[in-house]
A and B are shown apart, each in its own frame.
Chain A
């Protein structure tokens, strides 16, 4: 038995080593779905693995609470599908359950919180692509307004530091300088931003965030790690030990 076992172990370890070599390529039994808000649209990406996208997969959008169907469509050759936030969903402020059916028993789904699309400015400011899996919707909620504020405030706030310094020098009372500053700072703020500037920034953000988006999408597709593979094998041998123990007590 011992010799046989050793022989088996050798064969098995060889197979295992071969398997390790191909692990990075091998994560295609599961289909992945990633959805985010971009401008006023919802973008979904679907893929089996890095090199294999879901073509013609069926995407359906439901109300997460009631199950009412808002939208359905199929993915393109890149596994992408984008659509306007359904008006009915916007009216109801509904969380969206987005499901993907990729055929042959492959399916997945994800939840898109209402705050994510309600807070995303429809046409102007760049919406930060918020990963659906983010466990912290409050943070995502906070992000978008901050980004929008920065755009409006960035240009006017730059000259602020110098006027208070000069006005403070003129009056000669350093104590009071603090009070005039807030009204001065507040007055230039309401100036409405140039739409062309916003469009340019929109483009720039898209370009800058594209790699981040793809990194996030990839991070959501964890290929089985060595820990999990070895852990699984350990489990099998552990279970075998338990079985052997009980069989030996019976016998």
Chain B
């Protein structure tokens, strides 16, 4: 049931999830930091849940702490899946 993990697919999932948290779509890019986007630990907990539901990849504790940018999150999910 998990979707095949490709960088494009994960990027699409993340880009679609962030506006639900109140992020302006125009501000989303791989280089944007979550801090700039006002995405905090609670938002990342929700994002992790969406990713796990979609790809079966768990992001927990230390993982989330290392993520600074949108690109970091996408790369981490792709590498975990691999």
Q: Do A and B come from one complex?
A: no
> Which residues in B have some Cβ–Cβ distance to A below 8 Å?
none
